[in-house]
Structure 1
Amino acid sequence: MWQILLSSENLVFSIALMLMLLIGVLELVAVMFGTSMTTSIESVLPEVELTPHSEVGQLDADSALSRFFGWLRIGEVPLLMLLVVFLLSFGLIGLLLQSMLHSLLGSMAPAWFAVPCVFMLSLPVLRLGSGMLHHVMPKDETTAVSSDSLLGRIAIITLGTARKDYAAEAKVKDQHGYQHYVQVEPDNPLDVFQQGAEVLLLTRQGGVYKAIKNQNPHLSETNH
């Protein structure tokens, strides 16, 4: 058993599981001291930066990356929880597949081949796990808000560049102070909103909000 866990082919998967256990222990210690690693980590993480370009290819890449993050439910579930789910799925899938290969063929796949394959297999499991966490996480029904209630509030572009027909990710706080991540496009086809821009949400078309540049600094102060 230990020989399989510590073999060079499985070392990455074993490290992933040990790291997951370490995070769990550290989070437990943090809770005992009245704090949380999740809150601490997310408060110091920088915003994801994408260098804006005018080329269509770069716009497609920004939009694809934003959709990929949304597919993984980043923003809906705390990042530390996503990391734990990924490490758990990555480690268990890797060890399970390698054990099956060892039982059937008497040898295991080399790490350079197994790691990327298991990484890709772990992504759907990560999405499934994050979706389950999102549904079971405690929610205060009294602070639930509708999508239209965010209209008239200030949002900050956090990921990508918003142009005509190309939505970018933005964060906005509701009336209870809770943060939401939404997709934003300019209401004026000639406008371009780059990362860090403050915009006023005007209307909503499906899952995309139409916005204009925030011209009132006092609105910005009430939203942060």
Structure 2
Amino acid sequence: MFAFLSAPENIVFVSALVLMLLLGIVQAVGLAGDADFDAPDWLDWLGFGRVPLLVVIVLLLASFGLIGLIGQQLARDIFGILVPGWIAVPGAGALALPATALSARLIAPILPQDHTTAIDIETLVGSGATILTGRATTGSPARARVEDWHGQAHYLMVEPDNAGQVFEEGERVLLVRREGDVFRAIAVGDHHLPRLGI
């Protein structure tokens, strides 16, 4: 067995499996973070987007290594020789791609899915906010606090949408639009904000 695995024709396949094991160990002990990777559309079929990037790499290495070694074992059993690397490596690589895609589709439903509470800041328009620091006048924004629908607090700069209006600390306002880094707001007054129960 050792002679088979250490044969020059098999060293690439064994190396792929060793690298796959090392990546698995690194992930298991938590040394690797989840990398965000925007794959081109033509790579979607390989599993990018369905499973994390590291999982796709592990599946590709495992598929390549196992297909290569199984192919070499069959060649030795049938023909009595190992296939030269310049033939075996491209062949195993070509077969590993669809095998990786299939594996990614099979394991995607059982892997935990990413969940994010990140939002587009533009979606805060229509929310109620509280002036925290400063006095907001036209051209002079004040710092305000607003919560999104996840309950996450956001701190932003707010100034009145109407000329001559002033917002004092502690005042509740309604964000009506965004201009660059500043949100325009109107006084809550008698306005009803069903999202916030005001």
Give the TM-score, by structure 1 length: 0.49
In structure 2, the residue matched to 1:78 is 52
CA distance in 2, matches of 1:71, 1:18: 26
> Of 73, 76, 79, which aligns to 1:105?
79
1:37 aligns with 2:11: no
- Aligned residue for 1:107, secondary structure, equals coil
> AA paired with 2:7?
S
Quote the offset at 1:82 in angstroms.
0.5
Quote the offset at 1:14 in angstroms.
0.3
CA distance in 1, matches of 2:181, 2:62: 45
Q: Is the 8 A contact 1:38 1:79 kept in 2?
A: no
Q: Is the 8 A contact 1:38 1:80 kept in 2?
A: no
- 1:50-89 alignment runs, 5 A limit: 66-89=40-63
In structure 2, the residue matched to 1:53 is none
> Of 104, 111, 120, which aligns to 1:130?
104
- Aligned residue for 1:75, secondary structure, equals coil
Give the gaps of 5 or more residues in structure 2: 124-148, 151-178, 183-198
1:117 aligns with 2:91: yes
Rg: which structure is higher? 2
Describe the superposition over 1:103-143 as per-residue Cα deviations: whole angstroms up to 9, x where unpaired.
11110111011101110101111001111221111248xx7
In structure 2, the residue matched to 1:204 is none
CA distance in 1, matches of 2:78, 2:107: 35
> AA paired with 1:118?
A
Q: Is the 8 A contact 2:68 2:89 kept in 1?
A: yes
- After superposition, the CA RMSD in angstroms is 3.0
Greater length-normalized contact order (CA 8 Å, ≥ 6 residues apart):
1
Give the TM-score, by structure 2 length: 0.55
CA distance in 2, matches of 1:133, 1:217: 43
CA distance in 1, matches of 2:52, 2:33: 7
In structure 1, the residue matched to 2:64 is 90
- Aligned residue for 1:9, secondary structure, equals helix
> AA paired with 1:84?
V
Detail structure 1 runs of 4+ shifted over 6 Å in the superposition.
none
> AA paired with 1:17?
L
Identity %: 35
In structure 1, the residue matched to 2:176 is none
Give the gaps of 5 or more residues in structure 1: 31-35, 49-65, 145-149, 154-174, 177-215, 220-224
- 1:137-176 alignment runs, 5 A limit: 137-139=111-113
In structure 1, the residue matched to 2:15 is 15
Quote the offset at 1:24 in angstroms.
1.4
CA distance in 2, matches of 1:69, 1:127: 10
- Aligned residue for 2:9, secondary structure, equals coil
- Aligned residue for 1:37, secondary structure, equals coil
